[in-house]
Structures are given as C-alpha cells and as structure tokens.
Amino acid sequence: MSAETRVLLIAAPFYEDITEQLVAGAQGACDAAGVTADVVEVPGALEIPAVIALSEQGKAPYDAYVALGCVIRGETSHFDYVCGESARGLMDLTLKGVPVGNGILTVENIKQARVRAHVHEKNKGGDAANAALALLSLKKKFGAA
C-alpha cells in the first residue's frame, strides 16, 4: 500500500471514549500500512453504511472504509435492530466489491466495549482497518480495482 491509498474511517461517537480508542487503533493500523486515512463522524451506527454509499457515488471515492462505533445492549430491542441493520448494510457494500472493515462493537456492557476498543488490549479498531486493507489488496489482486 502507499500514501496514495485513501481510507475513510467513519466514526459513530455515541460512546465517545470507546470510539476514540477505535479511531486511534484504526489510525495506527493505517499509519503502519503507509496509507492516508481521513475521519468523519456520523450520528450513529445506522448511518455508517449510508456514508460509505454516498462516498462511493461521489467523484473521488475512497479506496477502503472502516466502520467504527459501539452498540451496547439495553432494555429494548433497539440493540438488535441497530446491530443487525448496520451489519447488513456493511455486508451489502462488501458484496458489491467495496472494501469495508467492520469495527462496530456489539457488546453487552461498557466493560466489554472498553476491552475490545482499547489499543493496548483487543484493538478492534486496528483489526477493522487491517481487514479493510486486506480486502483492498485482494480486490487489486483479482483485478477488480
């Protein structure tokens, strides 16, 4: 990869401290890969696939995308809808050939989120960025880029 490779990190900062760690992990992975990463914030996890679709429709889409956010189970079924629909939207984009790394945490409590997000623990933001970059490499290998 090179600095000409452009990655968009889309962050839903509802749980700001969690999302900051996810973004830091993703940015670190992009830096390590030598690619350029921009960050944009959206209101929530449901809006992330829409932002990717809008970018893809633009004149200068990014080469890869990283979805970052956190959804914590609450007392209602809202958790299930947000998790399922955001994942479905991201998968739909991926199946259309858009390299997307899914770093939207879906957890039972804030403790689980902190462990998964922190750059010195599970670093799921970094994992999501690496997944997006791996998909981009495969896209290029298969001549789809």
Catalytic positions = 78
The number of CA neighbours under 13 Å toward the Cβ of 25 is 32
Residue 14, judged by CB atoms within 10 A of its CB (0-12, 13-18, 19+), counts as middle
Q: Which residue has the tokens 């490779």?
A: 5
